[in-house]
A and B are shown apart, each in its own frame.
Chain A
Amino acid sequence: MVTRERFGNSGGWSRHSLTMGLLFGVFVMSFSVSAAEDDDYLKALSQEADKVGNTVTTEDAAASATAGARGGVSRQLFETELKEKYAGSAVFYSKLPSATQEEIFLEYRSGASIAELRKKIMDRFLHR
């Protein structure tokens, strides 16, 4: 009888421990799944952020006084557009001294056409 009770108790304890173990396992699993999901999301965000190489920034601070037809456009934006639309001119532009680049950008801001600017880039590059 005692043995049976012992066995019974022992069986009860083992069922209890099994249930507790399972619950604990589920808890830990759900926690780690959630943490893994967060990690995956952060990883995806980080990878996506790397793709933002040329963020279009259109800061207009002190330069607003000289703003012309393209007042809100930053130099970075101008250069991005040049690279995307006129790759050849962008290469020559990149070889110019920074003061000349600034001059061309200011002309762009004041409304010069892109054809004029491309000619100017070539003229400056060839020292004409």
Chain B
Amino acid sequence: MKRWMAMVAVFLMLAGLASAAEEELKVGDEQGVIPLYQGKPYLHVMHEGRSVKVQRVQDREFELHGYFARTSRECPPFCLGPMSVDPGVKTVGELEIFHFMENQMRDGTGVLIDARTPEWYAKGTIPGSINLPFTLLSKDADDLEMEEVLEQLGAKPREEVGPVTRKLEEWGLLDRKYVTDKWDFSECKELVLWCNGPACGQSPRAIQGLLDVGYPAEKIGYYRGGMQVWQLFGLTTIN
């Protein structure tokens, strides 16, 4: 009889332990946050003068709906583009964007650019982005609007260069890495440009425009995933 009692007690104890473990697991699961990446639950970024929390949608059952859930668009013009816009321009992913938000953007040395036309920007953007449409960034270096943009991005108009300096630059005795005849890009900001995703040509055009006026390729990043991939991962967007 005693043996039976002991067996029942052990059984009950084991059942209790299993139940407690299940509960613990359930509680832990409910409390668990889906982070931006391991060890980083969220971050804050300034957007139009206010702090916005960037995180992932916490609903594990959440499914993407609407325009950016569509797989296909008319091609041309909305054809899949290459991974790289230019050999000198680095293509970046979400983690690099998070890092960029927390470092370069925070200390004022980096700008995240939504290169889409204003009507797209108005329908939602990645927090912290400023809208510089590709139509603007494709203008000539002599264009007044382009000049304003370049100055906003830290480029400085170059004063008239004397013949001696010019010759020295031509001979490679003076560093011309970050200067053109018209602009000095040595203190320009790091940029990351993005648009609607891999089938969007707006940011590649904007990047090409910047390269054409002499913006250093190594200071430009291309977020190819754009709005489509950003939303696919349930990352915060803002109107």
Q: Which residues of A contact B (CB under 8 A)?
A: 40-42, 44-46, 48-49, 51-61, 64, 67, 69-73, 80-81, 84
Question: In the bound complex, how far is the Cα of B234 from the Cα of A71, in angstroms?
Answer: 12
Q: Is the CB of A73 within 8 A of B59?
A: yes
Are B67 and A52 closer than 8 Å at their CB atoms?
A: yes
Contact A55 B234 (CB under 8 A): no
For A63, the closest partner residue in chain B by CB is B53
* Chain A binding surface SS class: loop
Closest to B31 in A: A69
User: Known contacts A48-B73, A55-B66, A80-B65; is A61 also within 8 Å of B53 by CB?
Assistant: yes
**Which of chain B's residues have a CB closer than 8 A to the CB of A56?**
64-66, 68, 124, 231, 237
Question: Given the known A-B contacts A61-B52, A69-B59, A72-B58, are A45 and B237 also in contact in the complex, defined by CB atoms under 8 Å?
Answer: no
With A55-B237, A57-B238, A61-B53 as known contacts, state yes or no: A41 contacts B65, CB within 8 Å.
no
The number of inter-chain residue pairs (CB within 8 angstroms) is 95
B77 lies within 8 A of A41 (CB): yes
CA of A45 to CA of B135 in the docked complex: distance in angstroms? 12
Cα A51 to Cα B234 in complex, Å, equals: 20
Q: Please determine whether A42 and B135 come into contact, CB atoms closer than 8 angstroms.
A: yes
Contact of A42 with B234 in the complex, beta carbons under 8 Å: no
Which residues of B have CB within 8 Å of A46? Answer: 117, 119
| Distance of B161 from chain A, by nearest CB (Å) | 32
